[in-house]
Amino acid sequence: MRIPMIAGNWKMNTTVTEAVALVREMRGGLDEIKNVEKVVCPPFVSLAAVKDLLKGASIKLGAQNVFFEEKGAYTGEVSPLMLAELCEYVIIGHSERRQYFNETDEIVNKKIKAVLKDGLKPILCVGEKLEENESGKTEEVVTGQVKSSLAGIGYTDKLVIAYEPVWAIGTGKAATSQQANDTIGLIRRTVSGLYGKEGALNLRILYGGSVSAANATDLMKQSEIDGALVGGASLKANDFVSIVRQAAQVKK
């Protein structure tokens, strides 16, 4: 049985004051919902404050990025060792990192190795661009990203994968639940090739890209979809709580 997971990716939004206010607003509602792993991923600078606020709550904390070295002369970077004191999860290889900061599968692979060493749980993001989707390359692109990102990494129950088609992120145009389910099924088969059937069956694979309170139930009804990575809607307390509640209802 895979425990469903809903993670909020706040991206570069919220000051520390705003992050604290947002968590205060959603904490009570989220805490009541059982059987779903709830994760919020605020910006680095808010992790410590949000961690304090979540003491005793069932809500977990994640970061949005990380560097692959443990320490040293890398001005401005944040290491897995630093994050390990603050949070449990870390999003790696988000399409915005790939697009604006030139992150390649090779870098993503190094980051996953580095965070696992320090006991963090990576949420690996993969997904095809619009032109790749339109030219029928989804399978090739997504399979390639999964294999390269996980090269040399043995099975671990810490890994989570998020399938986020780039054309669906922040556009209000989510993949249909059928499309999302099909591609996530493909990812699971790819992972089965790497870690065997058992490993693939245990792995949680989330969908991300314009998930909202309006489409969450439909997406969560799909058998391959184990949860969601939510961007925009995770910044609205009511919407985020509603998405988590829908996941809990559908997956119970």
* Residue numbers at the binding site for ligand PGA (CB under 6 A): 9, 164, 169-170, 208-211, 229-233
Tokens 């808010």 appear where?
Answer: 46
Tokens 């560097």 appear where?
Answer: 67
Tokens representing 238 are 């009511």
Q: How far is the CB of 66 from ligand PGA (least distance, A)?
A: 16
CB 117 within 8 A of CB 84: no
Point out the residue whose Cβ comes nearest to ligand PGA.
231
Which H/E stretch holds residue 108? helix 105-117
Q: How far is the CB of 135 from ligand PGA (least distance, A)?
A: 22
Q: How far is the CB of 164 from ligand PGA (least distance, A)?
A: 6
CB 46 within 8 A of CB 22: no
- Residue 103 designated active-site: no
Nearer to ligand PGA, 1 or 12 (CB): 12
Tokens 């696992």 appear where?
Answer: 116
Nearer to ligand PGA, 92 or 169 (CB): 169
What is d(CA 215, CA 245) in angstroms, rounded to the nearest whole number? 13
Q: How far is the CB of 98 from ligand PGA (least distance, A)?
A: 11
DSSP 8-state assignment for residue 69: S
Tokens representing 77 are 């970077």
Q: How far is the CB of 126 from ligand PGA (least distance, A)?
A: 12
- Residue 164 designated active-site: yes
What is d(CA 222, CA 203) in angstroms, rounded to the nearest whole number? 15
Nearer to ligand PGA, 4 or 208 (CB): 208
Residue tagged active-site, from 18, 70, 94, 134: 94
Nearer to ligand PGA, 199 or 243 (CB): 243
Angle between helices 177-202 and 138-149 (to 10 degrees): 30
CB 179 within 8 A of CB 187: no
Nearer to ligand PGA, 170 or 185 (CB): 170
What is d(CA 199, CA 180) in angstroms, rounded to the nearest whole number? 21
Catalytic residue positions? 94, 164
